[in-house]
């Protein structure tokens, strides 16, 4: 029969020249499962540290001979990772700042009671294990609820909330080392990918049919909905796009940025297909891929040239989009019809110009049609002046019908990549 292995008790080294006053503390800490060694001066403490390891050091600042902060530097050479708690009678700000400056783990001012010391020691030595257990308990309870909630129909806000929650658990469980529970979480993903793919297959066409309806922000809305308000308020912004950054990766990076920046996380849905040439160009331009191909073929990329990237003109797309948003918008009464072409790359420029000529002769005034052709040849199409909820160009219906036909050919696996 296997005998369970018991973890040895955590050990404390307390350095203080008033040892007789520490006895109540030592008795209390031992009753809580800790072993406590005492040293009355710096030299004895250094010898003890050389002889055996300790889990935490409680160090008096004011002792005969070396000060506690001087001893701290010697301790760092022997045990660099040993957590140190400074204990002192001094209430001077200079002592506190000096202790913080050398990165002591905590700071206690005498007189102290046993419960204070236990709290500090427990937080430093047992805190990670306690947090790990709390995360495990919370996840087990929430896991059952998530399984039950899968029968509920979610709207786009519900899918955002679910995805955000799952990614938080993903990060927390991995950080806590709960690999068994982490694998249970990973086991949810395949079914949820399929469920989300089914949701997108049904609802994405509905969003395209009614851009003014109840839909999430899409790639085309990022600049107008999120970047432009900052520019209007602060007159400047640094716009950083990190391709293929997952939400769980952002959750790991966010705390690292928190000391330097105020952060706010907002979610959006990528246009389909989610591949970089489509979704990222849409993000910078505020246009769907078919619209870019029809209106800005020189910036969309040349299908006949393998060496030309479909993302080679992101700067121009963004600049054009920003110019459009601040109000430099030409008359679009005739040019809006050109989007009906919506064929990607190839001969789209020639067909679009022919369309402009047809409009000039049959449906629009000569002056309007001339402006349309000039704008198209200069690749300077702008949105119509009428702004919608997200600042969309109001007349996209012909192009959207083409988008819907393409959607039917999109593989479910590609759709699932948006989760």
Domain extent listing, the chain: 11-112, 127-206, 217-416
E-assigned strand segments in 75-147: 84-88, 106-109
Asked if residue 351 has pLDDT above 70, the reply is: no
pLDDT at 396 over 50: no
Whole-prediction pTM: 0.64
DSSP character at residue 218: B
118-122: average pLDDT: 92
Highest mean pLDDT among 28-42, 124-138, 194-208: 194-208
> Which fold does the domain 11-112 belong to in CATH?
Rossmann fold (3.40.50)
Residue 287 has pLDDT above 90, yes or no: yes
Residue 112 pLDDT exceeds 60: yes
pLDDT (average), residues 397-405: 39
Q: Torsion angle of alpha carbons 77, 82, 85, 90, nearest 10°?
A: 0
Q: Whole-number mean pLDDT of the chain?
A: 75
Number of helices and strands (H, E) in the chain?
18, 5
- Nearest 5°: the CA angle 133, 138, 142 is 150
pLDDT score, position 327:
67
**300 band by pLDDT with thresholds 50, 70 and 90:** confident
Question: What percent of the chain clears pLDDT 90, i.e. is strictly above it?
Answer: 38
Mean pLDDT is highest, among 104-108, 188-192, 402-406, for: 188-192
Say which range, 238-252, 310-324, 389-403, has the weakest mean pLDDT: 389-403
What pLDDT score was predicted for residue 293? 87
Whether residue 154 is predicted with pLDDT greater than 60 in this model: the reply is yes
Q: What pLDDT shows up at residue 197? A: 94
Residue 301: per-residue pLDDT: 64
Q: Render pLDDT for 4-24 as a digit per residue (tens, 0 to 9).
A: 445 788 899 998 888 778 888
> Which among 320, 274, 246, 286 has a CA at the least distance from the CA of 391?
286
1 pLDDT above the threshold of 90: no
């Amino acid at each position: 029969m296997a005998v369970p292995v018991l973890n040895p008790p955590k050990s404390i080294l307390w350095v203080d020249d008033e040892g007789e006053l520490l006895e109540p503390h030592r008795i209390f800490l031992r009753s809580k499962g800790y072993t406590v060694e005492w040293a009355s001066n710096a030299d004895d403490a250094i010898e003890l540290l050389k002889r055996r390891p300790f889990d935490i050091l409680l160090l008096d600042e004011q002792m005969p001979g070396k000060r506690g902060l001087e001893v701290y530097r010697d301790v760092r050479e022997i045990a660099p990772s040993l957590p140190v708690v400074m204990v002192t009678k001094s209430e001077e700000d200079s002592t506190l700042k000096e202790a913080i400056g050398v990165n002591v783990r905590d700071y206690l001012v005498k007189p102290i009671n046993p419960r204070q010391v236990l709290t500090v020691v427990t937080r430093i030595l047992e805190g990670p294990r306690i947090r790990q257990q709390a995360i495990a308990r919370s996840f087990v309870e929430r896991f059952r609820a998530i399984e039950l909630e899968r029968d509920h129909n979610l709207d786009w806000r519900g899918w955002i909330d679910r995805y955000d929650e799952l990614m938080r658990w993903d990060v927390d469980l991995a950080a806590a080392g709960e690999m068994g529970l982490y694998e249970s979480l990973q086991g949810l993903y395949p079914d949820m990918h399929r469920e989300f793919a089914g949701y997108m297959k049904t609802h994405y066409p509905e969003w395209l049919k009614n851009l003014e309806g109840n839909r999430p922000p899409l790639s085309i809305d990022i600049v107008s909905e999120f970047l432009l308000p900052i520019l209007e308020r602060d007159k400047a912004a640094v716009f950083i796009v990190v391709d293929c950054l997952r939400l769980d990766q952002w959750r790991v990076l966010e705390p690292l940025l928190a000391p330097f920046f105020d952060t706010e996380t907002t979610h959006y849905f990528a246009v389909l297909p989610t591949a970089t040439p489509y979704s990222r160009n849409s993000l910078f331009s505020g246009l769907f891929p078919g619209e870019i191909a029809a209106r800005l073929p020189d910036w969309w990329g040349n299908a006949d040239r393998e060496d030309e990237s479909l993302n080679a003109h992101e700067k121009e797309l963004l600049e054009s989009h920003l110019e459009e948003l601040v109000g430099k918008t030409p008359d679009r009464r005739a040019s809006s019809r050109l989007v009906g072409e919506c064929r990607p790359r190839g001969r789209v420029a020639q067909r679009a110009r022919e369309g402009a000529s047809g409009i000039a002769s049959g449906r629009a005034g000569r002056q309007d049609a001339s402006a349309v052709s000039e704008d198209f040849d200069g690749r300077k199409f702008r949105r119509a002046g009428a702004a919608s909820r997200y600042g969309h160009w109001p007349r996209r219906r012909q192009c959207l019908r083409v988008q819907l036909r393409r959607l039917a050919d999109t593989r479910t696996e590609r759709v699932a990549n948006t989760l």
